[in-house]
Chains A and B, each alone.
Chain A
Amino acid sequence: GDSVTQMEGPVTLSEEAFLTINCTYTATGYPSLFWYVQYPGEGLQLLLKATKADDKGSNKGFEATYRKETTSFHLEKGSVQVSDSAVYFCALVLEYSSASKIIFGSGTRLSIRP
């Protein structure tokens, strides 16, 4: 079935370090891909998205490129900040209609040390 696999956490980095969180997917169709962020005690916020191969989503210094050949959508940031500490979820949607459900990865907890 359709699924999302992302690297297990927690990931702990020092401020200004380079971040990569790996995400790969399995889908029967041609999905759209997302990264969501969840800050402590809050709901999910859409961080970035991509709808087709080679698309690059970007927001707040984060980037992810839709790689169809490797079925991946890795999240990267060149210089992380303490405020980036949160849980990050990779997700896919097969077709964006009112009946589509989002399939989430297991989440990766990121902690940034000052």
Chain B
Amino acid sequence: GAVVSQHPSWVICKSGTSVKIECRSLDFQATTMFWYRQFPKQSLMLMATSNEGSKATYEQGVEKDKFLINHASLTLSTLTVTSAHPEDSSFYICSAYRVGEGIGGYTFGSGTRLTVV
């Protein structure tokens, strides 16, 4: 079946530094990937939709200059949290859509827990 690999699974960084999270579709091409953020004991909030070769579409209230998304190939999207602060600490999850699979075509990564100290 479709597999999405997300790396790293957890990261601790100092305030003011930048962190890059990778999302790879291992056995299929994903023209569209999605980035979600999940606060403790809360639901997933869509941050942005990433389309291969074009600019990401950000949801309202998400700072595009802070959360940089790059989807340079059909199998890789990256989320870079720039100048991270403690309030950016969260669980980030990516999802990739596999064309032709219908509503079962969304596959999620295992998530990245970011802690900013």
Cross-chain contact A43 with B93 (CB below 8 angstroms): yes
Q: Which one of B11-19, B62-70, B108-116 is at the A interface?
A: B108-116
Q: How many A-B residue pairs have CB under 8 A?
A: 57
For B, the interface residue count at a CB cutoff of 8 angstroms equals 26
A102-B105 contact given A43-B6, A107-B43, CB 8 Å threshold: no
Q: B61 at the A/B interface (Cβ < 8 Å)?
A: no
Cross-chain contact B34 with A43 (CB below 8 angstroms): no
Q: Mark B79-115, 1 if CB is under 8 A from A, else 0.
A: 0000000000000010101010011111011110100
Chain B residues with CB under 8 Å of chain A are: 4, 6, 31-32, 34, 41-44, 46, 49, 51, 93, 95, 97, 99, 102-106, 108-111, 113
Q: List 7 A-B contacts (CB under 8 A).
A: A43-B4, A44-B108, A98-B97, A102-B46, A102-B95, A102-B106, A107-B41
